[in-house]
């Protein structure tokens, strides 16, 4: 490991180039203008000391090592002062640590030449990819050129390990096959063939047998198959698999489309033809396959036709005064049937498959055993006179009943008979019971869970003797309504749900019945019903309430995910041959069958646009989204067209398109209302990008109303520059236009029409690119002059600067965390926070925004936005912590959480401890990586914590956890609980936290 940075070097504009000699003698790096760094290998393959060689050619477009050369030889593609492009070769003299003039060179190539492909020996030489010509040359008088349709090719992959075929990917997503025709050991010509369309390729890797991996920075990466024969469209390319890529994200908004109290991020993702809208949410999607109106359902259970059958056949649907039975016929149709041995004239409390191919039905009056084959009654237990069954639970061999007055009866199934084993009376009435097996025997439970009414408790009892093992008083005034013993990821739990939507969870010792690690979360406001189910072979738990939740385990910790269904009263698994891994769902007036995808915390939906989205905005009042897009055209004088498109916010169907003028593009967009006008409008800021202008001198502010699914232009206001940012500001409109911040008020003219009238402005920026507002305060992110704070004075109708950060940060995004703390991202991939010095003693100090936090993120942030993608758990310590979501050019979505001081201090100590136990890739220094660096200064990260590092504690083995806990002087369980609480802020999202 070594450091190849050079504080005096000037980084190349064309990016870093790293290459390896084909004979593994050295590594070559082109990182800074005029320098080529060489790192040698010794005879054991270990890296030796590096040295620099002066490279005269500037700027360098590409460098590659040549094959078949005795000495390491590079070929350099560069551009001279007259913009002509040439290639030149150099041998690397290792002893002299210098270049020696190479065997050949080639001048005056295609002006668009930008990629070199070295050709394997014995042919040798290089292929030079231009925008209109492909050239092969090797210095031995071999020069072959092939004209091509104008395109930009930046990705290639060699097909044969030793052959002359290459796959090329261009900027339109077209995949080509380039073939070098040869005779003996010389190239006689070039041929190129169009294969088909893929994502716009950034890398191409030929794997085997016609299968190719296409990596893309602009859209989803793909695994494709190259077929020998074309399909109906003439394409030889068949897409086998897609790998989601959110990048580049240029804008996003946080919305609650399902109105379930959980945010969703809607992004402008991708570029060029691979542009799309992505909807990302933490939660689980259920797709309803069939539904029918059916009211009053009080319970659902699925049954198999035999105990060993892998599929369910029957569906038991209970109502207040009757029970209906449905069965799946041989045609895969669900139809009503009869199970003669069951009681259909009363409400069913519980159903279960039993051993010996029996079916169990529990009603208020009896427990019935019915034969699976004959459907006839085999045995029956009747409730004692004067008593009725209130709550019940069963498994394949056991039945547990509560019959009122605190009486509990335990039955076992022996030789197809119901045998009463134990009758006990508890101190209070029973509200819920469960005996789902959690031990080694999947058909028998040695433990039972019982919830009581009066003292509001949950207890573990041993079976068959019904002796109390452990009692937990739950506190409060709300009765437990559902209990469940379950095993998730080989960890046993007791779950206890209350009537007010709260859920208690306990770690359960399946051998002793002991309960530990008590936790409480809020999943809704209505009573919760718990039910186990299996998806993709893994056990999970449904919590049915006013907000349906799936409880599952990941890395041995419980996670909670919302489901995209509302008003679900009952649910059960229904796994049939026709509907595998399906669910039966009962709502207030509807019964349906649905399917669930993989249980995962992050659900992604893609809406392809085939053009590039640049700005997005949500308007809840009109149930729409507005998107600014651009599209490249193949013909005509105008090469790019820009639009404002209106979409339905649920279906994402296009409702209306408003084309912008030639050379006009959308720069900013908000939804807002104005003073004395309750209507909500879309406001769009634009600029005219003229070919001969260095900086936009003209733009517009367009105000649209949504009427009958169409954008109706209400007001058009011309501006003297690009409208880079718009904000709603106290019933007015705040705009950042080139170097000034302008405030407009909404006026109604005598003819009843509206107009935007300039009220005041503030000059003093180089380019005011980003603005955020809070009350009368305005935070401005400048192109070069970091963050400044303005205040609007209503009495004077004027804006003035209160304070600024005097560091020369090139801003990419800003946000106001609260009234006094502002966060910014700059173009060296750093985050920093500044604070308003309202209480400072002097005017000079009050006029300076104090930098209070700095941190190297390693990502180029395009946007901040307040919001969260996870359920807020009020009883969690982290439940009320404010979070800001950010998005980056690489497709990362992460959060920044503002922690209370004591929490921050604890986690800061934990982070400092963890770096001693957890080493990054290559054992690089975590402290060095997270240090703020912008090319001019380097500062240690402060007042920021690395949430990813802290949560990696959960991935340590138990021994390492104990070492960390000992170094922290806390118990392992406490440390686990506090780190797990931190995960509730995001669940699956990347995260970074800073001090409040």
> What is the C-alpha separation between 770 and 615, in angstroms, rounded?
13
User: Is 60 exceeded by the pLDDT of residue 994?
Assistant: no
Of the candidates 499, 337, 508, the one whose C-alpha atom is nearest the C-alpha of residue 438 is: 508
Specify the pLDDT at position 637: 47
Helix axes 958-968, 901-914, angle to 10 degrees: 120
Q: Output the six-digit token pair for 237.
A: 């390319």
Q: How many CB atoms lie within 10 A of CB 811?
A: 23
Provide the pairing of β-strand 391-394 with 398-402.
antiparallel
State phi, psi for 903 to the nearest 5 degrees: -65, -40
| 557 pLDDT tier (thresholds 50, 70, 90) | confident
The residue-averaged pLDDT of 120-128 equals 88
Contacts of 903 by beta carbon, 8 Å cutoff, 6+ apart? 877
Helix (H) or strand (E) holding 798, with range, is strand 798-804
User: Coil, helix or strand for 645?
Assistant: strand
User: Coil, helix or strand for 972?
Assistant: helix
User: Coil, helix or strand for 555?
Assistant: coil
> What is the C-alpha separation between 947 and 358, in angstroms, rounded?
52
Of the candidates 493, 494, 459, the one whose C-alpha atom is nearest the C-alpha of residue 473 is: 459
| 636 pLDDT tier (thresholds 50, 70, 90) | very low
- Is residue 555 within 8 Å of 574, Cβ to Cβ? no
Cis peptide before 464 (omega within 30 of 0): yes
Which residues, in sequence order, are bridge partners of residue 781? 770, 787
- Is residue 322 within 8 Å of 339, Cβ to Cβ? no
Specify the pLDDT at position 993: 52
Specify the pLDDT at position 996: 38
Residue 944, phi-psi category: left (phi > 0), alpha (psi -120 to 50), beta (remainder): beta
| 995 pLDDT tier (thresholds 50, 70, 90) | very low
> What is the C-alpha separation between 242 and 231, in angstroms, rounded?
19
Of the candidates 697, 679, 701, the one whose C-alpha atom is nearest the C-alpha of residue 688 is: 697
List, in sequence order, every beta strand (DSSP E) within 372-490: 377-382, 391-394, 398-402, 407-414, 417-425, 430-434, 447-452, 457-462, 467-473, 480-488
**Helix %, strand %, coil % of the chain (to 5):** 5, 55, 40
User: Is 80 exceeded by the pLDDT of residue 356?
Assistant: yes
| 166 pLDDT tier (thresholds 50, 70, 90) | very high
- Distances, alpha carbon 699 to alpha carbons 136, 171, 664, 799, in Å: 47, 29, 8, 22
Specify the pLDDT at position 721: 93
- Is residue 365 within 8 Å of 389, Cβ to Cβ? yes
Q: Which one has a higher pLDDT value, 181 or 684?
A: 684
**Residue spans of alpha helices (H) in 680-785:** none
Q: What percent of the chain has pLDDT over 90?
A: 47
Q: Which one has a higher pLDDT value, 291 or 42?
A: 42
Contacts of 714 by beta carbon, 8 Å cutoff, 6+ apart? 681, 703, 704, 705, 754
Helix (H) or strand (E) holding 902, with range, is helix 901-914
> What is the C-alpha separation between 945 and 968, in angstroms, rounded?
17
* Burial grade of 833 (CB within 10 A; 0-12, 13-18, 19 or more): buried
Reported residue count of the chain is 996
| 745 pLDDT tier (thresholds 50, 70, 90) | very high
> What is the C-alpha separation between 123 and 165, in angstroms, rounded?
13
Q: Output the six-digit token pair for 197.
A: 């369309």
> What is the C-alpha separation between 407 and 423, in angstroms, rounded?
7
Note the maximum CA span of the chain: 108
**Residue spans of alpha helices (H) in 756-881:** 843-846
| 285 pLDDT tier (thresholds 50, 70, 90) | low
Sheet of 286-293, strands arranged across: 286-293, 590-596, 582-587, 568-574
Of the candidates 349, 442, 358, the one whose C-alpha atom is nearest the C-alpha of residue 400 is: 349
> What is the C-alpha separation between 547 and 283, in angstroms, rounded?
12
| 221 pLDDT tier (thresholds 50, 70, 90) | very high
User: Is 80 exceeded by the pLDDT of residue 988?
Assistant: no
- Distances, alpha carbon 269 to alpha carbons 44, 641, 880, in Å: 45, 18, 30
Which residues, in sequence order, are bridge partners of residue 398? 412
- Is residue 677 within 8 Å of 699, Cβ to Cβ? no
The residue-averaged pLDDT of 661-670 equals 93
The owner of tokens 């392992």 is 972
Question: 111-121 burial, b if ≥16 CB within 10 A, otherwise e?
Answer: ebbbbbbbbbe
| 261 pLDDT tier (thresholds 50, 70, 90) | low
Least confident range of 314-328, 575-589, 847-861: 575-589
| DSSP symbol at 37 | E
> What is the C-alpha separation between 286 and 598, in angstroms, rounded?
10
- Is residue 104 within 8 Å of 138, Cβ to Cβ? yes
Q: Output the six-digit token pair for 146.
A: 């092939």
User: Is 80 exceeded by the pLDDT of residue 318?
Assistant: yes
pLDDT tens digits for 206-216?
A: 998 999 999 99
- Is residue 215 within 8 Å of 222, Cβ to Cβ? no
pLDDT tens digits for 773-809?
A: 999 999 999 999 999 999 999 888 899 999 999 999 9
Specify the pLDDT at position 243: 92
pLDDT tens digits for 501-518?
A: 888 999 999 889 899 888
The mean predicted confidence, pLDDT, of the chain is: 87
Of the candidates 168, 163, 179, the one whose C-alpha atom is nearest the C-alpha of residue 120 is: 163
- Is residue 613 within 8 Å of 218, Cβ to Cβ? no
- Distances, alpha carbon 285 to alpha carbons 548, 595, 902, in Å: 11, 9, 38
Specify the pLDDT at position 989: 47
The residue-averaged pLDDT of 971-976 equals 84
User: Coil, helix or strand for 591?
Assistant: strand
> What is the C-alpha separation between 655 and 664, in angstroms, rounded?
22
- Is residue 604 within 8 Å of 585, Cβ to Cβ? no
- Distances, alpha carbon 121 to alpha carbons 18, 55, 206, 563, 766, in Å: 21, 26, 19, 58, 54
Specify the pLDDT at position 64: 93
Q: How many CB atoms lie within 10 A of CB 492?
A: 18
Q: Which one has a higher pLDDT value, 317 or 995?
A: 317
State phi, psi for 722 to the nearest 5 degrees: -80, 135
Least confident range of 59-68, 216-225, 293-302: 293-302
Provide the pairing of β-strand 821-826 with 830-835.
antiparallel
Torsion sign across C-alpha atoms 239, 245, 248, 249: positive
pTM: 0.77
> What is the C-alpha separation between 586 and 763, in angstroms, rounded?
61
Q: What percent of the chain has pLDDT over 70?
A: 94
Q: Which one has a higher pLDDT value, 291 or 278?
A: 278
Torsion sign across C-alpha atoms 176, 177, 182, 184: positive
User: Is 90 exceeded by the pLDDT of residue 560?
Assistant: no
> What is the C-alpha separation between 507 and 882, in angstroms, rounded?
30
Contacts of 674 by beta carbon, 8 Å cutoff, 6+ apart? 681, 731, 732, 733, 746
Cis peptide before 248 (omega within 30 of 0): yes
């Amino acid at each position: 490991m070594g450091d190849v940075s050079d504080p005096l070097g000037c980084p190349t504009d064309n990016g870093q180039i790293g290459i390896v000699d084909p004979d593994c003698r050295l590594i070559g790096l082109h990182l800074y203008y005029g320098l080529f760094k060489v790192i040698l290998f010794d005879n054991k393959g270990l890296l030796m000391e590096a040295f620099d060689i002066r490279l005269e050619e500037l700027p360098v477009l590409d460098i590659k090592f040549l094959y078949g050369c005795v000495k390491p030889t590079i070929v350099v593609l560069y551009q001279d002062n007259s913009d002509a492009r040439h290639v030149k070769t150099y041998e690397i003299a290792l002893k002299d640590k210098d270049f020696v003039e190479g065997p050949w060179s080639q001048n005056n190539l295609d002006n668009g030449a930008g990629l070199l492909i070295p050709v394997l020996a014995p042919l040798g030489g290089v292929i030079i990819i231009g925008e209109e010509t492909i050239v092969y040359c090797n210095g031995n008088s071999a020069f072959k050129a092939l004209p091509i349709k104008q395109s930009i090719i930046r990705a290639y992959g060699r097909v044969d390990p030793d052959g002359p075929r290459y796959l090329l990917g261009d900027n339109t997503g077209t995949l080509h096959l380039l073939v070098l025709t040869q005779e003996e050991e010389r190239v006689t010509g070039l041929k190129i063939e169009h294969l088909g369309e893929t994502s716009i390729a950034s890398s191409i890797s030929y794997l085997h047998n016609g299968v190719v991996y296409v990596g893309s920075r602009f859209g989803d990466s793909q695994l494709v198959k190259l077929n020998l024969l074309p399909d109906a469209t003439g394409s030889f390319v068949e897409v086998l698999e897609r790998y989601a890529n959110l990048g580049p994200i240029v804008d996003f908004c946080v919305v609650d489309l399902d109105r379930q109290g959980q945010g969703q991020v809607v992004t402008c993702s991708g570029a060029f033809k691979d542009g799309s809208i992505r909807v990302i949410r933490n939660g689980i999607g259920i797709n309803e396959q069939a539904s029918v109106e059916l009211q009053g359902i009080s319970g659902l259970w699925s049954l198999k036709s035999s105990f060993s059958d892998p599929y369910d056949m029957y569906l038991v649907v209970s109502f207040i005064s009757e029970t209906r039975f449905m069965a799946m016929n041989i045609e895969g149709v669900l139809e009503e049937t009869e199970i003669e041995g069951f009681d259909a004239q009363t409400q069913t409390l519980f159903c279960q498959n039993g051993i010996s191919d029996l079916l169990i039905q529990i009603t208020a009056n009896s427990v019935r055993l019915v034969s699976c084959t004959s459907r006839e009654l085999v045995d029956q237990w009747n409730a004692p006179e004067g008593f009725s069954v209130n709550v019940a639970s069963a498994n394949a061999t056991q039945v547990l009943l509560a019959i009122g007055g605190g009486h509990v009866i335990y039955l076992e199934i022996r030789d197809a008979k119901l045998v009463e084993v134990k009758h006990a009376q508890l101190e209070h009435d029973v509200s819920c019971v469960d005996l789902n097996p959690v031990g080694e025997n999947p058909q028998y439970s040695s433990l039972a869970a019982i919830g009581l009414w009066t003292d509001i408790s949950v207890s573990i009892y041993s079976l068959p003797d019904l002796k109390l093992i452990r009692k937990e008083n739950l506190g409060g005034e709300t009765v437990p309504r559902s209990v469940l013993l379950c095993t998730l990821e080989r960890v046993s739990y007791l779950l206890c749900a209350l009537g007010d939507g709260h859920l208690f969870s306990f770690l359960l010792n399946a051998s002793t019945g002991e309960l530990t690690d008590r936790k409480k979360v809020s999943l809704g406001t209505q009573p919760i019903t718990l039910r186990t189910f299996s998806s993709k072979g893994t056990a999970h738990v449904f919590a049915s309430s006013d907000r349906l939740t799936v409880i599952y385990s990941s890395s041995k910790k419980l996670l909670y995910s919302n489901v995209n269904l509302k008003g679900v009263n009952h649910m059960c698994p229904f796994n049939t041959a026709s509907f595998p891994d399906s669910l039966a769902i009962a709502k207030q007036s509807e019964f349906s069958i649905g399917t669930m995808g993989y249980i995962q915390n992050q659900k992604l939906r893609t809406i392809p646009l085939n053009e590039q989205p640049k700005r997005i905005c949500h308007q809840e009042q009109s149930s729409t989204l507005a998107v600014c897009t651009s599209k490249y055209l193949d013909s005509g004088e105008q090469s790019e067209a820009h639009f404002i498109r209106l979409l339905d916010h649920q279906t994402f169907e296009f409702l209306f398109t408003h084309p912008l003028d030639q050379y006009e593009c959308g720069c900013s967009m908000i939804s807002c209302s104005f003073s004395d006008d309750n209507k909500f409008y879309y406001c769009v800021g634009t600029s005219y990008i003229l070919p001969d202008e260095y900086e936009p001198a003209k733009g517009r502010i367009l105000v649209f109303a949504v009427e009958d699914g169409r954008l109706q232009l209400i007001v058009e206001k011309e501006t003297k520059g690009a409208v880079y940012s718009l904000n709603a500001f106290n019933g007015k409109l705040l705009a950042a236009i080139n170097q000034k911040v302008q405030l407009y008020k909404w006026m109604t003219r005598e003819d009843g029409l509206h107009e935007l009238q300039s009220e005041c402005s503030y000059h003093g920026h180089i380019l005011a690119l980003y603005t955020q507002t809070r009350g009368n305060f305005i935070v401005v992110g400048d192109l070069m002059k970091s963050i400044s704070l303005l205040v609007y004075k209503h009495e004077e109708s004027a804006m003035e600067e209160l304070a600024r950060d005097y560091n020369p940060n090139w801003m990419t995004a800003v946000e106001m965390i609260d009234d006094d703390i502002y966060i910014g991202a700059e173009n060296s991939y750093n985050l920093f926070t500044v604070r308003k010095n309202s209480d400072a003693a002097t005017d000079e100090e009050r006029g300076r925004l104090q930098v209070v936090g700095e941190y190297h993120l390693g990502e180029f942030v395009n946007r901040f936005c307040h919001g969260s993608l996870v359920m807020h758990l009020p009883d969690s310590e982290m439940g009320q912590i404010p979070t800001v979501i950010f998005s980056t050019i690489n497709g990362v979505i992460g959060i920044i959480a503002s922690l209370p001081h004591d929490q921050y201090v604890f986690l800061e100590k934990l982070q400092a401890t963890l770096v001693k136990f957890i080493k990054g890739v290559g054992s690089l220094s975590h402290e060095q990586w997270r240090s703020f660096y912008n090319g001019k200064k380097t500062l240690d990260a402060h007042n920021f914590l690395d949430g990813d590092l802290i949560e990696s504690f959960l991935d340590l083995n138990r021994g390492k956890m104990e070492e960390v806990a000992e170094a922290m002087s806390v118990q392992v369980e406490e440390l686990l609980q506090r780190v797990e609480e931190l995960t509730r802020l995001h669940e699956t999202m990347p995260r970074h936290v800073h001090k409040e």
